[in-house]
């Protein structure tokens, strides 16, 4: 029963990853966000059949039908990958510190990773805020629309919550 419940919790948390990507796409019409989350979810099947690259291509094609430029979608995917790495490392660091991290990994390593992760997060936010939004994605010209700092921040938060929930599920399963 516990494994079934934890599986459902984990499956529900995958919505957070779709919402992260949708935030980073930052579509011109906010009503497109549910469609983007659906595109993310439907294309996720391709992670398992035939491989991980195909889910990226699948959501690119599905979301492209909404009239969002492929450049905007590609930029959102690149930012999503960066935020996933940052979020996963920050959550893992938090869990290790809570479990007595200094006995697991020497403290000097924490002194390097924590500032590096903070710097990476700041760079990601500065990227979004500094560059601002370029012209809104246009399928005719192929111009890309970069998300602003708010979209990056919300995406980072959603991603961190996903990894936190995933970590709790893994701990509850005994890993």
Kindly list the distances between the CA atom of residue 158 and the CA atoms of 13, 133, 135, in Å, as whole numbers in the listed order.
10, 21, 26
Q: Identify the pLDDT of residue 27.
A: 74
Q: Identify the pLDDT of residue 143.
A: 52
Nearest of 91, 99, 98 to residue 159 by alpha carbon: 91
Length of the chain: 175
Q: Identify the pLDDT of residue 9.
A: 92
Q: pTM to 2 decimals?
A: 0.72
Q: Identify the pLDDT of residue 140.
A: 43
pLDDT digits (tens, 9 = 90+) for 134-153: 444 444 445 556 677 778 87
Low-confidence ranges of the chain (pLDDT < 70): 28, 49-51, 100-146, 175
Cα–Cα distance, 111 to 100 (Å, whole number): 15
Cα–Cα distance, 52 to 123 (Å, whole number): 27
Q: DSSP alpha helices (H): ranges in 65-148?
A: 70-98, 101-104, 107-131
């Amino acid at each position: 029963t516990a494994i079934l419940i934890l599986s459902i919790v984990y499956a529900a948390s995958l919505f957070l990853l779709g919402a992260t990507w949708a935030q980073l796409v930052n579509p011109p019409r906010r009503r497109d966000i549910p469609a983007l989350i659906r595109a993310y979810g439907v294309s996720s099947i391709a992670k398992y059949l035939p491989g991980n690259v195909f889910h990226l291509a699948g959501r690119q094609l599905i979301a492209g039908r909404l009239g969002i430029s492929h450049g905007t979608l590609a930029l959102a995917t690149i930012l999503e990958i960066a935020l996933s790495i940052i979020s996963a490392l920050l959550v893992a660091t938090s869990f290790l510190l809570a479990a007595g991290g200094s006995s697991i990994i020497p403290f000097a390593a924490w002194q390097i990773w924590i500032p590096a992760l903070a710097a990476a997060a700041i760079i990601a936010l500065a990227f979004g805020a500094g560059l601002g939004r370029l012209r809104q994605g246009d399928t005719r010209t192929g111009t890309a629309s970069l998300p602003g700092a708010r979209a990056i921040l919300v995406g980072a938060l959603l991603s961190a919550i996903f990894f936190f929930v995933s970590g709790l599920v893994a701990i509850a399963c005994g890993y």
